[in-house]
């Protein structure tokens, strides 16, 4: 930003490019992807041709080396067409960034070319059946055996599980708690790696989700990211950006539904006039727009803080994620109400966004955990 309120010319150009890509390659097809549970692999690979698979991977590693605000602009633009697809690309970016930022030269050389081009798709594996919000209690073990780690355990709710090629996995190599957690990169075809059945979800139908199961899976020590015991720190650093991106996905979805509602109330007539003429309609739209802009302003500020590595970046990332995802869900719900019975039908896009945005208040850390993070930071 050139000041508190304006994007730079480069940021506007990036936003416009992402919006054009969305209008051409995502929006016309998103309803079909949802209806038929189709994973749009070719569309996602096309996004990589624009650099969207490695937004904040360094230029030295083949990425486009942008900041977190630019990433948020891209995610917001793509979510206008399909929040699910945008969020999937966000998760891939998180995994690629962790390898670029914390991995050694050999690891980067082996994985980043494929991740940047999206010849390889990546997943981020932290959550387990028994450790969601309490991520530091994870139980998946990595026992050292010569030049390998032997992995045992299960990861839960993994986007791309069973479909993606590479899994950035948080494992326990040492003591209980966060200091015993390390990070390793696991290939899909590693013996001992298997996947659960695809989850049957309320939304995010265009993105496969499944358990990732490790049963004596041998992974080279050379695939460790950073040093033993650093994994939890890497995971939390990744979530600062991931929370911004999922908040941006909520903004994009909310903006789409606000735009759809504005057009609908102009066309829909009741009691002899367009419902846009009723003061109640105008008040609701005004509240929706105000909530959206307030959330957007906080998220953009938080993104700038994460890029600058500001000392309060984690608190602002948590606040932005909470406000954006709460507001996004609320805005879409109010848009659905304006559509009345038609909003409940799949002939209109509102119900899809209502389903897709609901999970944003849960993943990348529940909004209850976001409040914990903010409260603890204020009181420290």
Catalytic amino acids?
A: 364
At residue 49, φ and ψ (nearest 5 deg) are -65, -20
Q: What is d(CA 27, CA 77) in angstroms, rounded to the nearest whole number?
A: 11
Q: Which residue shows structure tokens 């302003």?
A: 297
3-class DSSP string for 160-226: CCCCCCEEEEEEECCCCCHHHEEEEEEECCCCCEEECCCCCCCCCCCCCEEEEEEEEEEEEHHHEEC
Task: To the nearest 10°, report the CA torsion of 213, 153, 243, 45.
Answer: -30
DSSP 372: H
- 216 CB neighbour count, 10 Å cutoff: 11
SS3 of residue 310 by DSSP: coil
User: Do 182 and 138 meet the contact criterion of CB atoms below 8 Å apart?
Assistant: no
Positive or negative torsion for Cα 309, 310, 315, 318: negative
Long-range (24+ apart) CB contacts under 8 A made by 105-109 are: 106/222, 107/185, 107/222, 107/223, 107/225, 108/61
């Amino acid at each position: 930003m050139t000041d508190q309120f304006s994007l730079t010319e480069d940021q506007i150009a990036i936003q416009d490019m992402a919006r054009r890509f969305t209008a051409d390659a995502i929006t016309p097809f998103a309803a079909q992807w949802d209806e038929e549970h189709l994973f749009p692999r070719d569309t996602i690979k096309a996004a990589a041709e624009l650099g969207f698979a490695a937004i904040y991977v360094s230029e030295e590693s083949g990425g486009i080396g942008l900041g977190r605000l630019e990433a948020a602009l891209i995610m917001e633009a793509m979510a206008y067409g399909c929040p699910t697809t945008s969020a999937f690309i966000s998760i891939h970016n998180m995994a690629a960034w962790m390898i670029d930022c914390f991995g050694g030269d050999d690891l980067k050389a082996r994985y980043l070319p494929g991740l940047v081009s999206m010849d390889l798709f990546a997943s981020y594996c932290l959550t387990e059946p028994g450790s969601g919000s309490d991520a530091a209690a994870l139980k998946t073990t990595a026992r050292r055996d010569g030049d390998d780690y032997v992995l045992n355990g299960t990861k839960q709710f993994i986007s791309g599980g069973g479909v993606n090629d590479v899994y950035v996995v948080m494992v326990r190599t040492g003591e209980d708690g966060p200091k015993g957690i390390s990070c390793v990169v696991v290939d899909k075809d590693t013996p001992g790696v298997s996947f659960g059945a695809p989850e049957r979800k309320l939304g995010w139908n265009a993105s496969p989700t499944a358990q990732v199961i490790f049963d004596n899976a041998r992974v080279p020590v050379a695939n460790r990211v950073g040093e033993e015991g650093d994994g939890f720190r890497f995971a939390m650093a990744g979530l600062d950006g991931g929370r911004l991106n999922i908040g941006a996905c909520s903004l994009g979805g909310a903006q789409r539904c606000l735009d759809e509602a504005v057009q609908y109330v102009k066309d829909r007539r009741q009691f002899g006039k367009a419902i846009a003429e009723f003061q109640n309609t105008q008040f609701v739209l005004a509240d929706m727009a105000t909530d959206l802009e307030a959330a957007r302003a906080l998220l953009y500020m938080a993104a700038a803080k994460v890029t600058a590595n500001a000392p309060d970046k984690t608190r602002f990332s948590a606040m932005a994620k909470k406000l954006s995802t709460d507001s996004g869900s609320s805005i879409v719900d109010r848009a659905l109400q304006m559509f009345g019975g038609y909003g409940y039908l799949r002939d209109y896009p509102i119900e899809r966004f209502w389903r897709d945005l609901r999970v944003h208040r849960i993943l990348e850390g529940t909004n209850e955990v976001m409040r914990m993070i903010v409260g603890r930071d204020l009181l420290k």
